[in-house]
């Protein structure tokens, strides 16, 4: 007679992670934000976006180029790129193959070139050549999602915006500010617990902290200015 296989539970399988099964405490997350805001402000008083730009169009282009590419590489490319293409009309009128060649070192150059030229054309056709300044309009542009739109709104137009890049997602998980790692869901979660005037700088400070201290593989908890507020401090199971 064939012996029945034991279920994972009967076989002594490890219990599910508390991170996935535990109930998220939004009130505690909101209190934690209030605790870490002044600490991050003190640690990173002068923060801003790493991408170089001179106007909303340049930031839009740079942000599209930054997908799966370092900001440093994008800045190298756009130094000459923004001298060649100065308006939406310049981008829309360029040959796709030429744009591809000009942005090739940023990776995924075909898709990015299609998005850039398509966005430029729509800006010309529907927005009188100017990058729109609302979320609703920005996300209608080819290649532009909420992350890119928030980047433009927060940094080019000075409006409160939550930018959920890889650092913000990682630190929000470690700090237990949200139960979500999906960028859009996380954006709305953070909007509920971070004071609106602080949205943009809070994200910049999380990004700076993620790059300098709270790194992906091994955070430097002993030298972390917000370790006392962090549930994941010195706890590799929560990294």
pLDDT of residue 142 exceeding 60, the answer is yes
d(CA 48, CA 6): 55
Nearest Cα residue to 229 out of 28, 73, 5, 57? 28
Average pLDDT over residues 141-149: 97
Q: Which domains does the chain have, with CATH numbers?
A: 25-45+161-231 (1.10.1670.10), 56-155 (1.10.340.30)
Residue 83 appears among annotated catalytic residues: no
* Catalytic site residue from 165, 185, 189, 196: 165
Average pLDDT over residues 152-181: 97
Q: What is the Cα gyration radius of the chain?
A: 21
Task: Report pLDDT for 24.
Answer: 84
Q: What sign has the CA pseudo-torsion 17, 23, 25, 29? A: positive
d(CA 162, CA 168): 9
User: Residues 180-200: pLDDT tens digits?
Assistant: 999 999 999 999 999 999 999
pLDDT of residue 204 exceeding 80, the answer is yes
Average pLDDT over residues 77-88: 98
Average pLDDT over residues 61-72: 97
Report yes or no: 232 and 239 within 8 Å, Cβ to Cβ. yes
Task: Report pLDDT for 9.
Answer: 39
Residue 147 appears among annotated catalytic residues: yes
* Catalytic site residue from 102, 112, 147, 189: 147
d(CA 120, CA 221): 44
Write down the mean pLDDT value for the chain. Answer: 92
């Amino acid at each position: 007679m064939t012996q029945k296989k034991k279920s994972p539970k009967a076989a002594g399988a490890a219990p599910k992670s508390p991170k996935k099964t535990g109930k998220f405490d939004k009130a505690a997350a909101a209190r934690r934000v209030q605790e870490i805001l002044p600490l991050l402000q003190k640690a990173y008083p002068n923060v801003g976006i790493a991408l170089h730009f001179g106007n909303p169009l340049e930031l839009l282009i740079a942000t599209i180029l930054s997908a799966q590419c370092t900001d440093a590489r994008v800045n190298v490319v756009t130094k000459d790129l923004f001298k060649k293409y100065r308006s939406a009309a310049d981008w829309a009128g360029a040959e796709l193959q030429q744009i591809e060649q000009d942005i090739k070192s940023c990776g995924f150059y075909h898709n990015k070139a299609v998005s850039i030229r398509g966005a430029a054309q729509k800006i010309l056709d529907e927005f009188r050549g100017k990058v729109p300044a609302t979320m609703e309009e920005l996300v209608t542009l080819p290649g532009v999602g909420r992350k890119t739109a928030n980047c433009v709104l927060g940094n080019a137009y000075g409006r409160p915006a939550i930018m959920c890049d890889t650092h913000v997602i990682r630190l929000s998980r470690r700090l237990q500010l949200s139960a979500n790692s999906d960028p859009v869901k996380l954006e709305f979660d953070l909007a509920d617990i971070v004071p609106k005037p602080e949205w943009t700088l809070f994200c910049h400070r999380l990004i700076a902290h993620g790059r300098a201290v709270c790194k992906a593989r091994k955070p430097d908890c002993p030298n972390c200015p917000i370790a006392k507020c962090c549930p994941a401090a010195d706890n590799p199971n929560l990294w």
